[in-house]
């Protein structure tokens, strides 16, 4: 028995959680919230034409944020060349998965992998994975437009949130937690994507319209009705169901593969 060595594998392997990375992620998230929500705080005039003019600026500013997250991790010895290779592989797979279901009843195949990747490798990795997956998908499908920076930021938050989930769960309880999170994140993603165009989308003369200068609570109620009527029962619900099925059916196997890859690459255990 003395010759038998029992190898205890870490329950989770993650990349992130270091002070420098946390600061970058907080600042990036605050900037992202401002990018989405400024029409609720600043009166938008009738001459506004959506984000056609400011979206390129947001895109130019967002890419350095992703780079800053990666560099912060590298500076704190959380991401090395092997982790960067894993980031590229997962982003490429996610980008290839997205066109397979997009456009059919809200089916989105990329989100379950984004949730699982963020879970295993942590919030910083998940944030970068969400941004890069959306960027690669847009380039692959010629889907580059004023909506792209908002898709990238919303997907980044999905990966970030998955990396911040409690680490004590394992097995079936972990899959259940990830499935619930995936459903909530899929619905939240749809709501955020509605926010980027809602103030400009349907004019000013309906019960769902943004009203410039109205109190924040009134506009939020109109936005909630707009989201429920236009996307929750269609696109968002389909995305949530697809994500839950992906996590439940494929989650155990994918988590095992990702954790094995993380251990062999000697990523920092958490």
Query: Per residue in 184-226, pLDDT tens?
Result: 999 999 888 888 888 777 766 777 888 777 788 888 888 888 8
Higher pLDDT, 268 or 217: 217
The set of residues, in sequence order, having a beta carbon less than 8 Å from that of 109 and lying 6+ positions away, is 97, 98, 100, 101, 242, 246
Q: Which residues contact 55 (CB under 8 A, 6 or more apart)?
A: 145, 146, 147, 148, 149, 150
Contact yes or no for 186/235 (Cβ under 8 A)? no
Q: Which residue pairs from 205-210 have beta carbons closer than 8 angstroms and sit at least 24 positions apart in sequence?
A: 210/39, 210/44
Supply the pTM of this predicted model: 0.80
Q: Are 210 and 204 in contact (CB under 8 A)?
A: yes
How many CB atoms are closer than 10 A to CB 154? Answer: 23
C-alpha distance from residue 95 to each of 32, 114, 242 (Å): 22, 11, 16
What confidence tens digit (pLDDT) does each residue in 110-147 have? 899 999 999 998 888 898 899 889 989 888 876 777 78
Confidence at 45, pLDDT banded by 50, 70, 90? low
* Whole-angstrom distance, CA of residue 178 vs CA of residue 5: 33
d(CA 98, CA 92): 10
User: What secondary structure letter does DSSP report for 236?
Assistant: I
pLDDT at residue number 112 = 94
Q: What confidence score (pLDDT) does residue 243 get?
A: 94
Residues sharing a CB contact under 8 Å with residue 178, sequence separation 6 or more, in sequence order: 115, 116, 119, 162, 165, 247, 251
- Average pLDDT in the chain: 78
Return the pLDDT at 183: 95
Bridge partners of residue 269, in order along the sequence: 13
The first and second tokens of residue 118, run together, are 């963020």
Residues 6 or more apart whose Cβ sits within 8 Å of residue 238:
105, 106, 107, 108
Domains of the chain, start order: 19-264 (1.10.1760.20)
């Amino acid at each position: 028995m003395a010759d038998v060595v029992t190898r205890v594998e870490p329950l989770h392997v993650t990349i992130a959680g270091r002070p420098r990375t946390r600061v970058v992620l907080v600042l990036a998230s605050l900037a992202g919230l401002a990018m989405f929500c400024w029409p609720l705080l600043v009166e938008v005039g009738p001459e506004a034409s959506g984000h056609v003019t400011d979206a390129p600026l947001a895109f130019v500013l967002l890419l350095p944020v992703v780079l800053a997250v990666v560099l912060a991790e590298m500076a704190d010895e959380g991401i090395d060349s092997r982790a960067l290779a894993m980031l590229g592989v997962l982003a490429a797979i996610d980008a290839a998965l997205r066109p397979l279901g997009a456009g059919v009843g809200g089916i989105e195949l990329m989100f379950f992998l984004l949730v699982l990747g963020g879970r295993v490798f942590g919030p910083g990795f998940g944030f970068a994975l969400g941004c890069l997956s959306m960027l690669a998908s847009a380039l692959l499908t010629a889907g580059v437009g004023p909506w792209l920076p908002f898709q990238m930021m919303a997907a980044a938050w999905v990966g970030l949130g998955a990396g911040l989930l409690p680490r004590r769960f394992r097995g079936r309880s972990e899959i259940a937690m990830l499935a619930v999170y995936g459903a909530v994140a899929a619905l939240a993603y749809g709501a955020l994507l509605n926010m980027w165009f809602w103030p400009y989308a349907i004019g000013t003369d309906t019960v769902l319209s943004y009203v410039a200068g109205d109190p924040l609570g009134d506009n939020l109620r109109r936005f909630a009705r707009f989201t429920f009527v236009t996307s929750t029962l269609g696109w968002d619900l389909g995305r949530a169901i697809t994500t839950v099925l992906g996590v439940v059916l494929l989650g155990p196997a994918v988590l095992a593969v990702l954790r094995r890859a993380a251990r062999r690459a000697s990523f920092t255990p958490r």
